[in-house]
A and B are shown apart, each in its own frame.
Chain A
């Protein structure tokens, strides 16, 4: 086929003109109007410096490669009064990060399983200094085929921040519920144990996310808050063994006939100490119009690090009202009484210690965690608790970090319950997690 090149000529001309104009605009500083940026020195050392300052080298590379060019470039001390380079590092407009979590679970009485549990990508974009977007897309269990048993593809976060001031900012979109230590801070290198704590899985149904909007900010020296209005839990999904977990609507055409309110206050003003308290409250009975159910959840947690030692503690308690009527309604409609409790609660204490000396390029920490969690702590009148759901666990193991963003985890979990008939299986777990 013969190609007629005549119509392409004006098109090419326009494209070249547009490209020249665009490069002139960008090159003239239009995209960064607030600062005068002097051209960098022509020395290769300085171009290396710019790459370094932009974070495009890893640390080992910087240490090895930057020191010599800097000396050869003859930089003077900051007190010399004679600046040699003027530069401004604009924030990256768009960023991609992510984390992965891959493990082997050998549970007593079952075949060992190998699971690529989480493949998570974070995308962020800055529309301007004050308008920013962050998202987190998660593929669980490596494969999606409709239902959760085969895997999940979840949009765990996708929100816009409108940054007004340090004290007050606005946020809207798909949000993480700000409850507990793990739900908002769940990258594998930041917690010990192959799996997240039981309390942060069963009592706080992490990862707990919903559509919503709210405010966040920081007051004074280290007092931070979040307060959101979000889609509520769906009480028709509550169960005896996993409490609230099955009630997450996950932002998928969530009913908002009633909205939930949630918030968190935390104090981070002293180095090494993080202390927080959270709540969640909402009506949850919209699937059964004549059944009024409501959940009120309160939580307190703290982390403290001193030297190589870190301690964590968390307590969560939830009050569920209307569960007697819910249990009876579900019995009538689906034939199964879910035996949902009127109160559930859990807590854990964890201690960890870095055993490799501080200058080591690699790190290792040992940890032990005690957890106690009961999804039938109190029952509605006329319903009896089942001892199987009053559980506690000892989890102990090792986290080895070849890099601060890569962790090899080994742990053993001893889980017990109050049942005289059914035993909880223990498990040996090995996992690999990383962040980039």
Chain B
């Protein structure tokens, strides 16, 4: 298992604590934690699903795999992680939704002609 952990502290995402964890396929370590898991498939040129809605106070693990090339998952004004190529692993982003709002994410690695279409958002509701 390989883990990368980054904690973000910033003004724009002031009350969101975001921990990025990258886990390569085969690890069952994170699934043992008490978190809500969301799976996202990244593929030229979309994230599916591209909209995740969670109530405030939730911690979600976003498991992102690619169906083609490397993509990136980047919270706007926030941290960035590379999504491995198809069948080369899964990136896991742990997102602690501590404030109501909409948090955009996007592909951060140029992946083709429609790269700028690859966007999504996490909606934190009451």
A interface, CB within 8 angstroms of B:
34-36, 49, 52-55, 59, 62-63, 66-67, 70, 75-79, 83-92, 95-97, 122, 124, 129, 132, 134, 136, 156-157, 161, 163, 166, 169, 176, 184-187, 189-190, 216, 218, 220-222, 224, 268-272, 274, 305, 358-361, 363, 403-405, 435
Decide if A268 touches B50 in the complex (CB within 8 Å): yes
Give Cα A305 to B110, complex, Å.
Answer: 24
Given A59-B88, A88-B10, A404-B86, residue A132 in contact with residue B44 (CB < 8 A): no
Give Cα A236 to B56, complex, Å.
Answer: 60
Decide if B113 touches A186 in the complex (CB within 8 Å): yes
Decide if A222 touches B113 in the complex (CB within 8 Å): no
Decide if B7 touches A134 in the complex (CB within 8 Å): no
Cβ–Cβ < 8 Å partners of A35 in chain B = 8-12, 77
The reply to whether the CB of B82 lies closer than 8 angstroms to some CB of chain A is yes
- In the complex formed, the residue of A with least CB distance to B107 is A91
Decide if A222 touches B50 in the complex (CB within 8 Å): yes
Q: Which of A122, A176, A403 lies in contact with B85, CB distance below 8 A? A: A403
Decide if B114 touches A404 in the complex (CB within 8 Å): no
**Shortest beta-carbon distance, A93 to chain B, in Å?**
12
Cβ–Cβ < 8 Å partners of A84 in chain B = 5
Cβ–Cβ < 8 Å partners of B115 in chain A = 124, 134
Cβ–Cβ < 8 Å partners of B51 in chain A = 218, 220-222
Q: Which of B39, B72, B89, B112 lies in contact with A55, CB distance below 8 A? A: B72
Decide if A55 touches B70 in the complex (CB within 8 Å): yes
Decide if B50 touches A218 in the complex (CB within 8 Å): yes
Given A78-B94, A91-B108, residue A185 in contact with residue B113 (CB < 8 A): yes
Q: What size tier do the contact residues of chain B reach?
A: 35 or more
Decide if A222 touches B8 in the complex (CB within 8 Å): no
Instruction: Known pairs A184-B114, A186-B113; list 8 more (Cβ under 8 Å).
Output: A35-B9, A63-B24, A76-B5, A166-B102, A185-B113, A272-B41, A305-B67, A361-B87
Cβ–Cβ < 8 Å partners of B48 in chain A = 222, 268-272
Decide if A53 touches B111 in the complex (CB within 8 Å): no
Cβ–Cβ < 8 Å partners of B46 in chain A = 222, 224, 268, 274
Cβ–Cβ < 8 Å partners of A90 in chain B = 80
Give Cα A222 to B85, complex, Å.
Answer: 22
Q: Which residue, A78, A272, A404, has most C-beta atoms of chain B within 10 A?
A: A78
Decide if B2 touches A70 in the complex (CB within 8 Å): yes
Q: Which of A97, A157, A222, A363 lies in contact with B110, CB distance below 8 A? A: A97
Task: Identify whether the interface residues of B are mostly helix, strand, loop, or mixed.
Answer: loop
**Shortest beta-carbon distance, B25 to chain A, in Å?**
8
Cβ–Cβ < 8 Å partners of A85 in chain B = 5-7
- In the complex formed, the residue of B with least CB distance to A207 is B113
Decide if B79 touches A88 in the complex (CB within 8 Å): yes
The reply to whether the CB of B33 lies closer than 8 angstroms to some CB of chain A is yes
**Shortest beta-carbon distance, A153 to chain B, in Å?**
17
- In the complex formed, the residue of B with least CB distance to A132 is B116
Q: List 6 A-B contacts (CB under 8 A).
A: A67-B2, A78-B19, A161-B116, A218-B119, A222-B46, A269-B50
**Shortest beta-carbon distance, B36 to chain A, in Å?**
14
Chain B 112-126 near chain A by CB (<8 Å), digits 1 or 0: 111111011100000
Cβ–Cβ < 8 Å partners of B19 in chain A = 78, 83
Decide if B9 touches A86 in the complex (CB within 8 Å): yes
Given A34-B12, A161-B116, A176-B113, residue A70 in contact with residue B45 (CB < 8 A): no
Chain B 30-56 near chain A by CB (<8 Å), digits 1 or 0: 100100000101001110111100000
- In the complex formed, the residue of A with least CB distance to B76 is A129
**Shortest beta-carbon distance, A346 to chain B, in Å?**
22
Give Cα A87 to B29, complex, Å.
Answer: 24
Cβ–Cβ < 8 Å partners of B10 in chain A = 34-36, 88
**Shortest beta-carbon distance, B62 to chain A, in Å?**
13
Q: Which of B6, B76, B81, B121 lies in contact with A86, CB distance below 8 A? A: B6
Decide if A405 touches B85 in the complex (CB within 8 Å): yes
Decide if B11 touches A404 in the complex (CB within 8 Å): no
Decide if B110 touches A187 in the complex (CB within 8 Å): no
Cβ–Cβ < 8 Å partners of A224 in chain B = 46, 117
The reply to whether the CB of B3 lies closer than 8 angstroms to some CB of chain A is yes
The reply to whether the CB of B69 lies closer than 8 angstroms to some CB of chain A is yes
Q: Which of A83, A220, A268, A269 lies in contact with B7, CB distance below 8 A? A: A83
